[in-house]
Amino acid sequence: MLGNPAIAVVAATFDVKVEGAVVGRLLLSPLPAPSGDLAQAFAATQWRQALVAALVILVGAVVLAFALARWLLQPIRALAEGTSALADGDYSRRLPQVRNDELGALSNHFNHLASTLEQHQQARRDWGADIAHELRTPLSILQGEIQAMQDGVRPMNATALNSLHAECARLAALIDDLYQLSLADAGALDYRFAPMDLGEVLMATCAAQSAACTDAGLTLELAPLPATVLPVRGDEGRLNQLLANLIGNSRRYTDAPGRIRITATRLPTHWSVDIDDTPPGVPPESLPRLFDRLYRVDRSRNRAHGGAGLGLAICRAIVQAHGGSIEAHHSPLGGLRVRLRLPIAEKD
């Protein structure tokens, strides 16, 4: 027995075990109550200081929690207000970018979304105005010519009827292009994908377009193709439409005498097809927009010989459906280079 032999029976008792066997007990007597004025004053001082410290910590925690909650909720509240503004159609709303944490990244994403929606809204407005203009032009011509015939100013002969037929054909082509683009946007364009040789498609399209290019005073050249098969997986009809649109675009906008050259090369995962033409070229600022709907470069590539500016937009839709890409660059021949990239088909 070690310690105070007079320890109280009510003392806390703890067994001391060695390998599971109790070899002793530890008895802890309670602390004696303070006795004397000095001890009681000291104990009271300790309680008061502990209480004050607890109150200070509690107040500090509340203030800190309030500041932290305000710091966290402020961007969330701004994001909620911005989202409500977007839902109401206010796409000009932007959030301040003053943080570098996850909430700051969320604000950046919100601003990017708002900017994209604003651009799409402007594009829809421009699209509606451009469509109205493109439809109004042939209709105005038709109305004017018919009115002239009715008034006897212009005789109703074969020449007048041919002019009316040409405007009707232009209007029908525009409506068909709009229909094709609406199907592309809805993912409803009909595609029948199958393995094929891109080289055969290029040769067939060039053979079909050669006479029209010759009549326009242009030479259509197909550079020697690789000695092997050019395997792709695509829709032969759509690829023919794609290449015919691109060659027709070069034919309409290239000055005679001139030439159009088509070159196909192999990349690690794609076939690259370049369609180059001779002057006139395209200003650098217009190159990224050539595939936008209803966009035309009126100053350098004559609008009078062109369509409604939908052909290249349809080409982009066809290329994207085939998993490829299409870009516009300056051509070494002095005109425009349109570069197609189509994935190489894997062998079964």
For residues 196 and 236, is the Cβ–Cβ distance under 8 A?
yes
The per-residue pLDDT for 226 is 87
- Domain spans of the chain, in order of start: 1-31, 102-185, 194-343
- CA atoms within 13 Å, Cβ hemisphere of 66: 6
* Cβ atoms within 10 Å of 326's Cβ, excluding its own: 21
Which residue, 73, 85, 77, 74, is CA-closest to 113? Answer: 85
Kind of pairing between the strands at 270-277 and 258-266: antiparallel
pLDDT at 57: 94
Q: Go through 76-106 and write b for each residue having 16 or more CB atoms within 10 A of its CB, e for each that does not.
A: eebbeebeeebeeeebebebeeebeeebeee
Which of 298, 299, 293, 301 shows the shortest CA–CA distance to 331? 301
Topology of domain 194-343, per CATH? Heat Shock Protein 90 (3.30.565)
Q: How far apart are CA 231 and CA 225, in angstroms?
A: 13
Residue-wise DSSP of 79-128: HHHHHHHHHTT-TT--------SHHHHHHHHHHHHHHHHHHHHHHHHHHH
What's the pLDDT at 187? 62
Residue by residue, pLDDT tens for the chain (348 residues) are: 566 666 656 667 788 888 888 888 787 776 666 677 777 788 788 889 999 999 999 999 999 998 888 877 888 888 888 888 888 888 888 888 777 778 788 888 888 888 888 887 777 776 666 677 667 777 887 888 888 888 888 888 888 888 888 878 878 877 777 777 777 665 656 788 999 999 999 999 999 999 999 999 999 999 999 888 899 999 998 899 899 989 988 998 899 899 999 999 999 999 999 999 999 988 888 888 888 876 766 544 444 454 556 778 888 888 998 999 999 999 999 999 999 999 998 765
Q: Are 279 and 300 in contact (CB under 8 A)?
A: no
- Residue 344 and residue 288 in contact, taking contact as beta carbons nearer than 8 Å: no
Residue from 95, 137, 97 nearest 303 by CA: 137
pLDDT at 297: 67
Question: What is the rounded (10 degree) CA torsion for 164, 169, 175, 181?
Answer: -150
- Residue 273's beta-bridge partner residues? 264, 340
The reported pLDDT for the residue numbered 160 is 83
- C-alpha distances in Å from residue 238, one per residue of 83, 126, 210, 252, 260: 41, 28, 19, 21, 21
CATH topology of domain 102-185: Helix Hairpins (1.10.287)
pTM of the model: 0.58
pLDDT attached to residue 264: 95
Chain length of the chain? 348
272/329 Cα distance (integer angstroms): 14
